[in-house]
Structure 1
Amino acid sequence: MRIRRENQMMKRSLLAFVLATSTLALALHSPTITIQPIDFMNEHAIYSTGSGKVVIPCQTTGSGNITYAWRHNGNPIQLDDRIKILDGNLSVANITASDDGKYICLASNLYGTSISREVTLQVSVVHSLRNISENIIQSSYGSARLRCQISNQTTRMPKPSQIYWTASDDSRVPETTSIAINEYDGDLIFIAGWQNNTGSYKCNVIFKLFDPTTGSSTKIKLTGAAQHVYFKIPTSATPSFAPKIEEGPTDIIAILGQVRVILECISTGYPIPTILWQKKLGPLPNNRYSIEKFGRHLVLKYIQEADAGEYQCIAFSGFKQVSASAKLRVAIDSRWKASITNTNQPIGSDFIWPCSVSGFDIKYKWYRNGQRISGSPQYNLHANGSLTIRHLSPSDAAVYSCQGYNNHSNIVSSGYLNVIVAAPTFIKSPYTQATFFRGQNATLRCTVTGGPRPTVEYTKNGRTIDRQLHNKYTAQLNGNLIIHHVQDSDAGVYKCIASNRYGTAEVSGSAVIKIATTFTKSLTKTFVRRPQGFILSCQIQKDPSLNVVFYWQKEGKNITTQKAVLNVHGLTTTLTYSSSSLGDSGRFSCFVATHVPFAGYETQSSSAMLTVHDIPDSPSDFRYNQVNASSAVLSWLPGNSNNSPLLRYGLTYRVNSNRLSNDPWRVAINDVPPWATFHRVNLSPYNYYHFKLIAINGVGSSKITPSLTFHTDVDIPYHSPGEFRASSGTADGAIIEIRYKPLSRDEMNGPHIYNLLEFKPQAISSSWSFINIGNNGSYRLTGVLENTVYKLRLRPFNDIGLGKEWTHTVTVKTGVAAPTLIPEHFQVYVIGNDSVKLVWSTDALGNSMGTKIIGYRICTFEIIEYVHITVLNSNSDELAIISYWTYDQSIAKTQTLGDVNVATMNHLKHNFSYHFRINAFNCGGDGLLSQTVSQYISRSVPEHHPVFTDSISNFTSSQMLSHQLILQWLAPAITNGIIQSYQINYKLIGNQSNSRKTIAKNTTGNETSAILNNMKLGIYQFTIAARNIHGYGVPVTIRHKVANILAPIRLAATAIERTFIHLSWTVGDIIGQEETQCLDDKF
């Protein structure tokens, strides 16, 4: 018995040696699984009835007799009458819950064992719904949730194919804006319940169970216990319930190409919430999504990698909103990048076996003859999937399997490792006459096999090549020799000599040098606007003795469309499209194939992306939601971006205009993010609004959507009238003149706008008096006390009620004249991202009409920039056209200042222009308003930061010579850009000549001094302002008297010594004083 076993072992060893010493000529036929097992899961899960049957396929080709085995959850399957292997396939009858799990097929022959992919057999068990009845009492308009009671069942419970609820009369409960059925748990949710929703309800669940025998499904229906809900009669006016996310979207992993993915968001509240969706930091997938179930479902279709990201649902109810987010990850099923196949490797070598799988979160396992390989000194498992086997020996000959897998799929490939023990054999020899191209790298073909791995020596023209010259030669493991940077001197006869301990072999061939075929004009990235045609061209240089062939491809396929015309002119080829469509976008490649003697055609290519783009399609489904007195939510669905990413959306509107009106469209907002699908706009009550929407990409603006029209509810006035002023009537000391800017139609907020004048004597402790003064902009208050100080203010009202705010309070003393002059030289300078400095002159005012000026009032009102959306386009002469419209001057804000001539305003808005006006006031009231000064507050972005400079400091003057003046100053501490120059304005003052001309002088650069010559005698006023690229900063003013410099007098010499003299004299300065100067000198 022992001798027989030893003979068997010898036969096996002999067979292993024969296999190990095989050469490449041996045809290897290890088991190859041609039909892989399949999964039975999800909708194809097997229903456990105790009588079902399933067959998991596994078919293989290979040499000799092939035997099969299967594993279940990693353990060998014990075959019996219920579980059988039939021609490799696994047959399982009378399925039970214990059959659930992972399965692998193993196929073996003389060469070894291959394994299959791992598959899942999911066995479903359907349990009855829990028979628990619930009773819920809720206020009307409140929310309620009835449980279907299937969510806590065992994990073997299959996913229902349908869930619906029935009322007590067995009628189905339809989903509406106020009633929802949760997609996953099946719960019935009353978003805002009414009395007629009171009643009993039952949950009905239908399961579709797959029958693998017939390939069809059967249905099972389960019905739960009755659930009761009672909505109480409201005891007061219609209540409101803040919106609440009852069921928010959950993070989900979708498979690339998955047909349908549902993100669910159910919000309760009253008024019934409007639910809108958006993808954060990206647009919703164009033409591959839908909004269903009254906005509660965002359905994504045919999932792509770009769909990964964070999705947000927002529920709006009245003035309130809530949101919830979920992340979608896209899993890519494992696919081969580099599978393993049969291979021959020399004995004694280290072999790296590549295995690479593309997909989502891929991991790897290796098997040898069906047994899992662990890392060891013999085997190195690499994170990239490769396996290194150290120092190959005959015992390493076997079938190896590489499995790439993630949580969703797995694939396996197998190959036989043949360990070679043989003399060298060249399987690829040098060409009889190889062609090397000048300046490029060339490969001398000397591909050799043998075991152990042969050593190869190379000669050229009979002389041994020094392989240590690494910058010139590189010998590869397979025997090929790389020659770097080919020169004419590399021509000649080459020989390769390969040897190991079993023998020697040699081959030879010659090489000639030619001019390389290269591109002198390559393809470049190109953009074309639909439907314009385009021409692509490339040009080459080549060796005159070689022939070339041109051809074109798009995305790796030859171009066959009839609208493409290919031409070749000498060494230039062109591809012409007479017109273009979005589908013509792609990577185009120009190929040139050079015919090389003996070697055939060698190909080079030049590739570049061509993008056909266009303005975006107009947004669709533009609608309004949740309109109230002061706001509305506008929503839309994005159109196709047409191969140019969206940059933003713009909303424009009109107020109280009919559709045929020529009133300009105002810009509500021009930078809505490109991923947004809604925007809440702040509005005024009691107005009819017309809104339009455009989408903007890098090409231009979409067509404008049709106008959306709606009106807002009424409310009390929100603002007080602008430019409220009051002054005493000097002709009659018992009169006060009232002036104001009436609220516009847009700001009335309700029918019949009026103003309530409130006034009272300042010194008397009494209540305010009230008069309705209408809304015409002026009013004369009579019957007041003479020589009395009054406090006055205005408050608007309409038919709804009194307004929210009063004007500022002004004081007026009757019988005293108000200022009659207007502040001069009123200027406004932008000094920061959100601030301005206002400067004016008080010289001309003095004591107006003999009454001292008390202070100044500055009226400010906003202007929104209106931009006609016209994008700069390199293919046209279009320019951006900018115009302005006034938002509403009737609600100007007033700031009251003391007796100053400078003021700073902060916290202004970006992208807004502002109008400013000023008036002086004294105890007699307000003087006249100045002309309007406008200034634009720009956006604070790095590449465009239009902020003016701060003030100059230490501005001084000095006179060294008659009629010459030196001005010096320090540059502003904050320049907000490079100072380009300074402007100096000066004029003679005094001499009873206020009309003397102002002279302007600019420095040539940013120097901080200036010399003025030929100055006439007199007192001058100098004003200086720094200028950067955005304009002039705040000016600084000084005065200086220019006078004659007198000649020195009383020159005398004192203390004369041999080498020293002391001189003294007297000089008169520019204001006539005398000063004694001394000088000591040596000689």
Structure 2
Amino acid sequence: RVMEMLLSTKGITTCLFFSVLSLAAAIEIPLSVSQLPTITEQSHTQVAYPFDEDFTLRCEARGNPQPTFNWTKDGKPFDLLSDRRVVTSNNSGTFVIQNRGIISSFQGKYRCFASNVLGTAMSEEIELIVPSVPKFPKEKIEPLHVEHGDSVILQCNPPKGIPPLHIYWMNIDLQHIPQDERVSVSMQGDLYFANVEESDSRSDYCCFAAFPMLRTIVQKMPMTLKVSRSNFIKERKPKLLIPPESAGSSSSVTVIKGGVLLLECIAEGLPTPHLSWVKVMGNMPKDRAKTDNFEKRLKIEEVTAADEGLYQCTASNPMGRARHEFHVHVEEPPQWLKKPEGGVYSVGANLVLLCEAIGNPEPSIRWKLNGMPIDSRTFRGRISTREISLTNLQLQDSAVFQCEATNKHGTILASANVDVLNIAPLILTSDGENYATVVGYSAFLHCDIFASPAADVRWTKDDSVEPLSTFRYELNKNGTLEIKHTKKEDSGSYACWAANSVGKGAITANLDIRDATKVVVTPKSPRVLKAHSVLLRCQAEHDPHLERGFQLSWRKDGEELPTNATEGGRIILDRDTLFISSVVLEDEGVYTCVASTSLDSATAESQLIVLDVPDPPEDLQLSENQNRSVRLSWRAGSSHNSPVNESIVEFEENRWEPGRWQELTRVPGNATTALLALAPYVNYQFRVVSVNAVGRSQPSRPSLRYGTPPAAPDKNPENIRVEASEPNEMVMKWEPLKPLERNGPGLEYRVSWRQQGLHTDWSEETVKKHSLTVRNTPTFVPYEIKVQAVNHLGAGPEPNVTVGYSGED
């Protein structure tokens, strides 16, 4: 039916959801379509041959027809079959060099070419380094005789090898030669003595050269240095050994942008010179510049253009100084500003390829066609340094264009495949695909098309020939139809139609719209006391057609909970329920039920809030210290979802009742400070307890001790009374002061008495206990009695008078 409709369509009506799919941009051409070769894999641009292994140079390409491969070495054809040690593979440019015999002849610069009848692709140049085994020459090194204070250079002259190179100076027992401001190793590997001492004499100065890439360490023949005593002190001002005097007072250094700048100054002199560095007319980059080798080397990492300029090293000692200036120039290898971009073009189209690169020095640009330099005399297009243009492209114009940008720091290569094709729409998506989604989601029906010229594409539904054209339908550039906010009535059969001037094509697709999954969790926000239990229930609805893949799962704070019982059965998941017994504070969080099908998923959340007594207050601090008061401050602990109603301040003192905590005051729950009234002569410490609706917190950690100075008593004894068990006797008793009422040391009671109504002088006696017996009193006579508290600092307030009777018969 679709094909009948397609064949009966005499023209294509333009509407919102018709689309011309442009193929000019670089796209993946189906391998069934004739196409130019493209290099898909190659070895790194610089590689080293391992000593003990075979080596592979890689070059792979795709194309139709299947490409054939050939190589050049140092710009000349390289026959892979000319050496039996070279092993090739069918339909591949990759070859293996077997590690047999002398292989140094394989060192050179290689390039791979992949060709078919349409054109030739070219790899980047690959430099193959075949290292020889580094060796120091066997030589006899004469002993070096010098005097105390002379400068000395012991030369290493390491053999050549693949970097990096590490130089070590050691003795024959493999102990490192100590280095300091006086003795150091240069970047070239030589050992420098700013001035020698007699202790430098030894016969086993050995230079070791390590080549990590070659897994090799080689040793130079030991050198002998004999230092004899000098008849005079050879004090002298510094002289630079690196850079040498022959370099003059300044030199030029070039560094690659992004690389590491290394500047070195080594000086001789006596006393030993000290090195320092400055950037003239500028500042060092603090985060990237550092010195090492005892200030003899300046290192700047990740060099930028701003690091260009004049740098100066100064060697100084009390005898004078020496300087050298380095003119640093920052250069960079070529980098692309704009690379040529190939693509698929139809017959008659126009082509413009751009190639722009930057670098320092400015790169030169060179164009190639199918791996060969372009001859402007025979090339039918227009060619300039940065642009190639062709008009009215024809099938025979298919080619691989290469652009190389080169300066002294390197070469970069960019290739552009220009495929000129004349092909009817080739629909790459299978016919009769089945799609499904749920109500409200978007549906994507695919129709991947390759065509040249570009194809016009439209979609229809069921038996309609009218293209889909409402706001809910969107045709993407790749031919895919997106149906937004799907409804049940979107179910049905769809057809994708594609046509260009060469031909037509069509496929069908089926779409099913299912009900969306829904889920609810109850309770929504449970508030649970610690140690109690909670049950969460998940109620989900889903389309019956999606039962097969339906699943329920639970998450806590985004992390999935295992379906089996956890924590010894305290947390139990049973499909649609989640049960937590003996709830702890760590159980608090957001619990999510996830209901998922093969097409969609839905979630619902429950915020579990755990209630508990507050955490104890923290960080108790004392301030505003006075004789009778102090301010206590603290930081409230977590209230655990139940506001703090009040805070209780308790105290303990270590003189009368050590270890016993007593309540001192209470403050509102929002307060975190209290001014505490204190008694004299008490060594306090304090703690705070917070209270909420659930209960009391644990006490805080105690504060520091706070002692109040002694004072005279503030009060006198109470409940003064007279007891008489015998005639002519009077026993006076009273309630003693409590320990915290004593106010100071040496508490005693001053007791005064006289017969009422006689206005005689008071009798007085001071006692330590809380009773006093007076004898020889008249029988049953009223007495006025006073009891006053006194201590070493004074007496309490004037006491009240109490009347009591002496004993009776």
Query: Does the pair score TM above 0.5?
Result: no
> More relative contact order in 1 or in 2 (CA 8 Å, sep 6+)?
2
User: TM-score w.r.t. structure 1 length?
Assistant: 0.33
